[in-house]
Structure 1
Amino acid sequence: MLSLHDLHTRLRWPASVVDNRRVTQQPDDPVDNGVSGTVSGNVVQAHTINGGVHMHAPAGRVVTLPHRAGIMPPRAAYFQRRTVVEPGLSGDGQARTSVVSGMGGVGKTQLALDYADALWAAGEVDLLAWITAVTREAIMSGYARLAADLTGAEDDDPEYGSQRLLEWLAGTPTRWLIVLDGLQSPRDLHGLWPPVTPTGRALVTTRRRDAALHGHRRRVVEIGVFAPDEAHCYLRAALAARPQLLDGVEGLAARLGYLPLALAQAGAYMLDRDLACAAYQARLSDRRRSLAALLPDADGLPDEHQATVTATWSLSIEQADRLQPFGLAGPLLAVASLMDPNGIPVEVFTTRAVLELLGAMVSRPITEDDARDGLACLQRLSLLTVGKSSSPRAVRTHALVQRATRESQPADQLSVLVLAVADALVQVWPDVERDAVLGQVLRANVDVLYDVGGEHLWEPGVHEVLWRAGRSLGDSGWIVQADEYFDRLHGAAVERLGPDHPDTLSIRSNVAYWRGEAGDPVATLAAFEALLADELRVLGPDHRETLATRGNIARWLGELGDPHAARAALEDLLAAEIEAFGPHDVFCLTTRGDIAYWQGEAGDPVAALDVFEALLADQLRLLGPDHRDTLTTQGNVAYWRGAAGDPVAAVETFEALLVDQSRVLGPGHRAALTTRSHIAFWLGEAGEPARALDAFEALLADLLRVLGPDHPDTLNVHREVARRRP
């Protein structure tokens, strides 16, 4: 309980004559408070006061409606309306608050501005307030100013003013729209969300994607980059005064990832330098130039931008690093910056290689859960997205975010990052590619890694991830692409390792092999013969690579029409392999199969079948039933049974093989699909053309789904179906 004297002293009211005849500590006693004389300022007459005391300044002028409050940002030049966004902002009749979420630079503020202006122009709101929401203090300050405008009562404490505004909004029949622009943290709006009323609306823009942004009658609207046609329209409008600069506009828009902020700043850069789109794209492709050097300086930023693209994202990274697990978001984004922006398997980030790298970067042990939580922090700041973990393309980010992140890494750190990512991709690469999409995604990630950091993948030799990518291409049936891949790799190997390095010689073997598979046996035989001479000189006659090349020469002799020469060369090779490795070595078993094949091609299918059956028995004993070589020999047994005149036995053996392949390799593996093609073929040879056609048609449907319409295997089966249809 306060005496009047205490209250007067604490509140420091201006002097006045106060007649306080009796003040007592007993609340039930009568109190006679009187005021006489001339009074200047505020006077408080009180008996008992429980709780705090809050005094309002004298009432000010109340604004008349309709009223706009706050400083709205200027409209961007060449603003592009985005029809896919407008329904989300308008709501569904239930949501009264729209939360516009997206990465820095997608144009959230401009979309909010356009929406607010449209409502105001249509007369759908009587009160439009724009409040900068970068901090909780800024929100409360904006609320308090608006409360003073609407009620005439100013509060010294913004918290009281904020509550006064929320009470006013909750009780007024006025149609209002509150825009909270640039929310940095959901907790800044704790207790400050505009109330849900029939006549009120709110719109919040933020880079955040936290679950806390969802709530009663709120709708979160995810904003992405421009659609391609929107980006093209923007650049054409921005450069309309100089049409000669439009050369290459569509390519540049794609290279900038259709990001509105990047397009605006690139447009300003080009106009200031009279630079065409194609020329700007050439500079962008030049890795000697940093992204920051290709953006306007502070004086040249368009539309009153406060920061360049790169600076915008650095603030988001700092925020993400402050979330738990602390300091992990930045290193994880550095890892992601070296891979395909269109999709990275989430398992890459939880490999031993990446966890050890992260631990070294933050100086503490990092677990798989830490890595996943760190990715979630980046998603909360819209720096990347994390989809379903079952998707091979679960993690996606923007290519310019990646570039800005890479360019912020010290040179010595970049090499460490590249090697860790390469190791991680090898660790997630399955020994058997059951999933064609996963193989495609992993190869795409290797392509990006090599493009941005390939110079670090050659010491002391070719990194395993480069071998994996090439073999995956060929094993998946992309023969021409595998040939081209290894040809490019060979050129780089000669430059970095020298022509006689063992890895360079091994790459030459792959080039020759896939060139032959692509249909050029003459060039292939010549390439293997030249390679053998170099391997004999560099590696010696008993090296496995040298012996493998001898086997390839024998094969291509047969492919060029001389099966007898092929068989003779292979028999000499088998003798050398037995002497070097013993009769049960895998090389020896493979050569025995090659001898049997060319024996059959020379016109003796029965003898070939006998050799393959004996070989299969040895492989089952030495390698086991699930070894890839065992499965291959089982397929050869099936084929030569058909070639020896028993197509029914061929079908039965291939069907048994398909069961094993589906179990070991997966039903979508190319080897299993090839076996189905053999089954269909031998059904036709066994006198069942209708079943053969049905089998080919079913196979075609699966090939279209698994490999796509342009895959060579799909095209071959498509032709077979067309040939067999009546």
Structure 2
Amino acid sequence: MPARWPHQVGRIPLRAGSFQERAEAVRLAGVLEGGGTAVVGPAGGVRAGGVLTGLGGVGKTQLAADYARSAWSGGELDVLVWITAASAEAVAAGFAQAGTEVLGAEREGAAEAFLAWLEPKAEERPCRWLVVLDDVGDPDDLRGGWPPQSPHGRTLVTTRRRDAALSGGGRRLVEVGVFTADEALAYLTEALAARDRHEPEGELRALAADLGHLPLALSQAAAYLIDAGISVTDYRALLADRTRPLADTALAVLPDDQTHAVSAAWALSIERADALHPVGLAAPMLRLAAFLDANGIPETVLTSTPARAHLAPTRALPAPKRSRRWWARLMRSTAATTATEPVSAVTEADAVAALRVLHRLGLITHDPETPHQAVRVHQLLQRAVRDTLDPIPHASAAADALLAVWPDIETDIALAQALRANTTALSGHALDLLHRPVAHPVLSKAGNSLGFSGQAAAARDHFQHLVESATNHLGPDHPDTFDARSDLAYWQWQARDLVGAVAAYEELLADQLRVLGPDHPDTLNTRGSLALSRGAAGDVVGAVAAHEELLADQLRVHGPDHPYTRIALLNLATGRAQARDVAGAVAAYGELLADQLRVLGPDHPDTLNTRGIFLFWRAQDGDAAGAVTAYEELLADQLRVLGPDHPDTLDTRNVLAFWRGWAGDAAGAAAAFEELRADQLRVLGPDHPDTLDSRDGLAMWRGRAGDVEGAVTAYEELLADQLRVLGPDHPDTLYTRNELAAWREELEDTDDE
């Protein structure tokens, strides 16, 4: 016998404790009520289906249940059907149950009868219905089973999937993300207050951030805090303990009718992803991403040659059916299944396809429109994956992948920042592994990238940490520890701690002499760095003598054409320049240039660089016009060989602009600096030392060209940025302050006239 209306089929999940009203609920209501996103048909007012999609644990089911409960209790519905739609069989059974209860149909054919009954019919009394299909695992499970569009009916689907098939036929996707910071704070505050627990707001916000604002994780954390009777501080320490699996931070009995702890909430999605084409690549791709930056991984890292080589041995054909326990085996194993196919090369297209599969299953967000942060993964999903792995091969592969795409010359600021952020994340997860058996070069690459981007103090701090780590993991006398100490000394020097740099080089040299001996290349190179730092610190006479002694030893050990010998000659020339011995510097640079032309050829970057330095010192005799011509020729060669965005090319443009000004063309110099600044902002960024330096040239030549007010404005803007970036006591900041005062005085004199 048909049921009388109103009638409910299936059970709506209980409302979670401390349920939060969210913006997604408003968007969902707009979709289902036709508010701006409804599909309007010929009859008008036809309601589209709404699809709530998002990562497991973000609260999709609770949002759907809240909507259904509100519509039901508000008298908006005659028939409400809630189906837990985890499989095609479950969907069919749910519709059959609805057909049996609502229509009084026989079980056989009841599902088809119910779907047909939902079709709007002009001659029948309209039925206001809502069908909720919760936790759809595969769009194919709904093939032939989508409720029809109707002016009186609504369909709501929750799923972790993002397949295009879900949004066809007028259905609208509503992305559900994690809580906002304020929603997460409100949830924790209310959940704990319900048990008379009150914790400092700062600690609660920090805990919410630790958990990535994931609703499921917040719920289980609150329950743990209440049942275990521990403080938020202690729970955060428990969570931060990387020797303890994430599963240990959840209770055996979960709150709010939850069936899975956070650590296992994504198991089925990963299993399904790994079974899709390209078979067997999704899970290993997720393992690799688990060691990188949750907030954005460049796509090129995950499609690089090392990444694809890491994926290749894991290709497999999954067995057709698996238990939930396969999650652990899937994540731990190097071969995902026992039914394997011959290993084949993984192409770049395969790797991208694996990312798209993970995106479709809601396990990552893959946005090719933001290539340097194309892949995002929730931090707790990363933790859950890492908990089940032997981390060594994955951490090593991630480091290799980062290094493979890291350009030798950084001309893309966003890419360099993303690579540094991913290296920081990788170090946080597996720093000790990156020192087995030696220090991975990506660690020093990240530090030097920081420094050469203009962040000398940050680079110094990076290498201080790296020295400590290398000492702990490799020992104080390991070559990689020595290398880290050398880098630390260099960035101390660049951060203007000249005394500290000299002391650091002296200590390093003493240890290298003891361990490596006097003729080891690293020992000899440290002698050169020590001499340079001494010269920068003011001991120019001692520095030149040290360079001369080192050059003699390099000639003895390596011969005249070895790169280390040429470096020693370059350092000698630099030492003479520090001592203001212009004739000596020109002679040394000229000798070095002749050797490079003979050994390396005229187009080698080192030859071109030495040409620029040689021209600078040769121009000190006052031939500004000749310097302009020579630098124009050099610039033409650098543009041809290195390209317009190479730092050496940009540096030559900077020097050429200065010499144009000194040759009498102040307006041309100012114009050249304007063009250079635009390119430096694009390539190097606003805070790079070279960008700040060219801005000084722009300000000066504006003033010398007669635009005194423009010079004052430019110096004021430059001083503000130098105070922010370099600090008040940096020599460049002090120089700009003096120049600004002089040009302000010039402006006042002009106004008086």
Normalising by structure 1, we get a TM-score of 0.84
The answer to whether structure 1 residue 270 and structure 2 residue 222 are counterparts is: no
Unaligned runs of 5+ in 1: 1-59
Which residue does the alignment assign to 2:153?
200
Which residue does the alignment assign to 1:61?
2
Which residue does the alignment assign to 1:310?
263
The answer to whether structure 1 residue 72 and structure 2 residue 12 are counterparts is: yes
Shift of residue 291, structure 1, vs aligned partner:
0.9
Which residue does the alignment assign to 2:346?
367
Please give the per-residue CA displacement for 1:108-133, whole angstroms capped at 9, x wherever unaligned: 11122223334445554443322221
Distance of 1:486 and 1:605 partners within structure 2:
35
Q: 1:661 to 1:491 in 2, by over 3 A?
A: farther
Specify the SS of the correspondent of 2:172: strand
Q: 1:85 to 1:153 in 2, by over 3 A?
A: closer
CA RMSD between the two structures: 2.9
Which residue does the alignment assign to 1:34?
none
Distance of 1:206 and 1:320 partners within structure 2:
14
Matched letter for residue 337 of structure 1:
A
Which residue does the alignment assign to 2:496?
519
Q: Give the conservation status (yes or no) of the 8 Å contact 1:418–1:453.
A: yes
Which residue does the alignment assign to 2:703?
none
Q: 1:706 to 1:154 in 2, by over 3 A?
A: farther
The answer to whether structure 1 residue 542 and structure 2 residue 519 are counterparts is: yes
The answer to whether structure 1 residue 586 and structure 2 residue 539 are counterparts is: no
Q: 1:276 to 1:643 in 2, by over 3 A?
A: farther
Q: What does 1:79-118 correspond to in 2, within 5 Å? A: 79-83=19-23, 86-87=26-27, 89-91=29-31, 92-94=37-39, 96-118=48-70
Shift of residue 418, structure 1, vs aligned partner:
1.9
Identical pairs, percent = 46
Distance of 1:671 and 1:231 partners within structure 2:
49
Q: Give the conservation status (yes or no) of the 8 Å contact 1:100–1:205.
A: yes
Shift of residue 233, structure 1, vs aligned partner:
1.9
Specify the SS of the correspondent of 2:383: helix
Q: Give the conservation status (yes or no) of the 8 Å contact 2:97–2:111.
A: no
Distance of 1:339 and 1:559 partners within structure 2:
39
Shift of residue 191, structure 1, vs aligned partner:
0.7
Shift of residue 89, structure 1, vs aligned partner:
4.8
Distance of 2:614 and 2:366 partners within structure 1:
47
Shift of residue 403, structure 1, vs aligned partner:
0.5
Q: Give the conservation status (yes or no) of the 8 Å contact 1:346–1:389.
A: no
Of 587-596 and 221-230, more deviation after overlay is shown by 587-596
Which residue does the alignment assign to 2:470?
493
Please give the per-residue CA displacement for 1:427-470, whole angstroms capped at 9, x wherever unaligned: 22223323222222222222222221222222332222223222
The answer to whether structure 1 residue 395 and structure 2 residue 375 are counterparts is: yes
2:385 to 381, 398, 405: 405
Q: Which has the larger radius of gyration?
A: 1
Q: What does 1:49-448 correspond to in 2, within 5 Å? A: 60-64=1-5, 66-83=6-23, 86-87=26-27, 89-91=29-31, 92-94=37-39, 96-167=48-119, 173-240=126-193, 241-244=196-199, 246-297=201-252, 299=253, 301-360=254-313, 361-362=334-335, 364-368=343-347, 369-388=349-368, 391-409=371-389, 413-448=390-425
Q: Give the conservation status (yes or no) of the 8 Å contact 1:346–1:394.
A: yes
Matched letter for residue 567 of structure 2:
T
Of 324-333 and 705-714, more deviation after overlay is shown by 705-714
Q: 1:501 to 1:650 in 2, by over 3 A?
A: same
Of 253-262 and 134-143, more deviation after overlay is shown by 134-143
Q: 1:700 to 1:113 in 2, by over 3 A?
A: farther
Matched letter for residue 435 of structure 2:
W
Of 256-265 and 73-82, more deviation after overlay is shown by 73-82
Distance of 1:169 and 1:313 partners within structure 2:
42
Normalising by structure 2, we get a TM-score of 0.81
Q: 1:158 to 1:594 in 2, by over 3 A?
A: same
Matched letter for residue 117 of structure 1:
R
Q: 1:716 to 1:125 in 2, by over 3 A?
A: farther
Aligned residues: 661
Which residue does the alignment assign to 1:17?
none
Distance of 2:181 and 2:551 partners within structure 1:
60
Q: 1:689 to 1:502 in 2, by over 3 A?
A: same
1:602 to 549, 566, 579: 579
Matched letter for residue 93 of structure 1:
A
Shift of residue 544, structure 1, vs aligned partner:
1.2
Matched letter for residue 442 of structure 2:
V
Q: Give the conservation status (yes or no) of the 8 Å contact 1:140–1:162.
A: no
Specify the SS of the correspondent of 1:523: helix
Q: Give the conservation status (yes or no) of the 8 Å contact 1:638–1:651.
A: no
Q: Give the conservation status (yes or no) of the 8 Å contact 2:264–2:384.
A: no
Specify the SS of the correspondent of 2:372: coil
Q: 1:359 to 1:600 in 2, by over 3 A?
A: closer
Distance of 1:130 and 1:620 partners within structure 2:
80
Q: Give the conservation status (yes or no) of the 8 Å contact 1:532–1:546.
A: yes
Q: Give the conservation status (yes or no) of the 8 Å contact 1:169–1:194.
A: no
The answer to whether structure 1 residue 629 and structure 2 residue 581 are counterparts is: no
Shift of residue 577, structure 1, vs aligned partner:
1.3
Which residue does the alignment assign to 1:577?
554
Q: Give the conservation status (yes or no) of the 8 Å contact 2:99–2:111.
A: no
Shift of residue 283, structure 1, vs aligned partner:
1.7
Distance of 1:588 and 1:604 partners within structure 2:
21
Please give the per-residue CA displacement for 1:630-677, whole angstroms capped at 9, x wherever unaligned: 343233134325543244555555565556656666655555555554
Q: Give the conservation status (yes or no) of the 8 Å contact 2:76–2:128.
A: yes
Distance of 2:487 and 2:421 partners within structure 1:
20
Matched letter for residue 165 of structure 2:
A
Shift of residue 82, structure 1, vs aligned partner:
2.1
Distance of 2:19 and 2:665 partners within structure 1:
66
Q: 1:533 to 1:687 in 2, by over 3 A?
A: same
Distance of 1:717 and 1:349 partners within structure 2:
37
Q: Give the conservation status (yes or no) of the 8 Å contact 2:296–2:373.
A: yes
1:562 to 539, 542, 549: 539
Specify the SS of the correspondent of 2:431: helix
Q: Give the conservation status (yes or no) of the 8 Å contact 1:245–1:274.
A: no
Matched letter for residue 63 of structure 1:
R
Shift of residue 592, structure 1, vs aligned partner:
2.3
Which residue does the alignment assign to 1:40?
none
Please give the per-residue CA displacement for 1:572-596, whole angstroms capped at 9, x wherever unaligned: 2112212222212222222222222
Q: Give the conservation status (yes or no) of the 8 Å contact 1:638–1:649.
A: no
Distance of 1:465 and 1:243 partners within structure 2:
44
Please give the per-residue CA displacement for 1:288-322, whole angstroms capped at 9, x wherever unaligned: 2221111122x2x2211111111211222122122
Q: Give the conservation status (yes or no) of the 8 Å contact 1:75–1:110.
A: yes
Q: 1:559 to 1:374 in 2, by over 3 A?
A: same
Shift of residue 624, structure 1, vs aligned partner:
4.0
